[in-house]
Amino acid sequence: MASYSSSQKNFPHFLSFFLILIISCEGAPTDGFTEVTLTEKDFDVQRPYDVPIAERYSFENGVRKLWVYSDDKPFNTETKTAPRTEIRMRNHDYSSGIWQFEGYGSVPNGTTNVSIMQVFSASSGPALMLRVYNDGELWCFQGKLIEDDIYNRWFQLNVIHNVHNNKITIFIDGVSKYALDDNNGGDYYFKFGVYTQNHSSYYMESRWKDVKIFNKTEV
Ligand SMILES: *[C@@H]1O[C@H](CO)[C@@H](O)[C@H](O)[C@H]1NC(C)=O
Ligand SMILES: *[C@@H]1O[C@H](CO)[C@@H](O)[C@H](O)[C@H]1NC(C)=O
Ligand SMILES: *[C@@H]1O[C@H](CO)[C@@H](O)[C@H](O)[C@H]1NC(C)=O
Ligand SMILES: *[C@@H]1O[C@H](CO)[C@@H](O)[C@H](O)[C@H]1NC(C)=O
């Protein structure tokens, strides 16, 4: 009886092995891309100018935690932009080719009306903002719902920017969710963290691990 029920249990495992194999054959967003070697110098933390970095950012056990308050100061004294603690990826700005951001993000319940990831152009502004609204919904700017429940879990985010085709494609947990046109121009870079939007929560936080950049030439 005991051996009968154990073989019954093993059969689905055997099947799921092939199921995983089939799913993997569809490919990861990074297939065909080359990983860019990053160093800590490439992770430039922007935070309210009047507080020490340790009061808005930590990097422990591979997890980057960024937080900000809605009454914080901007990230420098010249700008009047809303409060942010964001990592601006440095040294790999791009104006051609196909570039990809990959990272695992997590947003705690309560953090809302905030941008957590951007593709930004110095000359034409944000080409993509991924924002948290409502009860843990992830939106592309304010116009397109991407994922309805991102609170309190790790989600895998991949963003592919094909500068040649002017397309930005967003993947959550390896699944393509939405593609939008870019804003046509300039030197782009990736940013992630928390950047206050209208009617934000008082406290905003996002955490990130295994952040990587990939690229390839257009075909
Ligand atoms: C977030 O917290 C609120 C208030 O405590 C609760 O109603 C809601 O169900 C929580 N949502 C998630 C996704 O945990
Ligand atoms: C935020 O509010 C300002 C002023 O009302 C408005 O101009 C702007 O478009 C709003 N931003 C978003 C992202 O809704
Ligand atoms: C977020 O903004 C929306 C309008 O864009 C507003 O209805 C909502 O109340 C805001 N959330 C919070 C927590 O203030
Ligand atoms: C990929 O990134 C590296 C590092 O920034 C750069 O040297 C290289 O030219 C890039 N390749 C493409 C195809 O964009």
d(CA 127, CA 163): 11
Dihedral pair phi/psi, residue 21, rounded to 5°: -60, -45
Task: Please write the tens of the pLDDT for every residue from 103-162.
Answer: 999 999 999 999 999 999 999 999 999 999 999 999 999 999 999 999 999 999 999 999
8 Å CB contact between 168 and 127: yes
Three-point CA angle 75, 80, 83, nearest 5°: 45
Task: Please write the tens of the pLDDT for every residue from 176-205.
Answer: 999 999 988 889 999 999 999 999 999 999
The best mutation among 30, 36, 37, 214 to test binding of ligand 4, ranked by most ligand atoms within 8 Å of the C-beta, falls on: 36
CB of 217 shorter than 6 A to ligand 4? yes
Cα(198) to ligand 2 centroid in Å equals 6
d(CA 213, CA 95): 15
Token reading at 147: 């994922």
Sheet arrangement for strand 137-140: 43-46, 84-89, 188-196, 114-121, 125-133, 137-140, 144-147
Residue nearest to atom 5 of ligand 4 (CA): 92
Residue nearest to atom 6 of ligand 2 (CA): 198
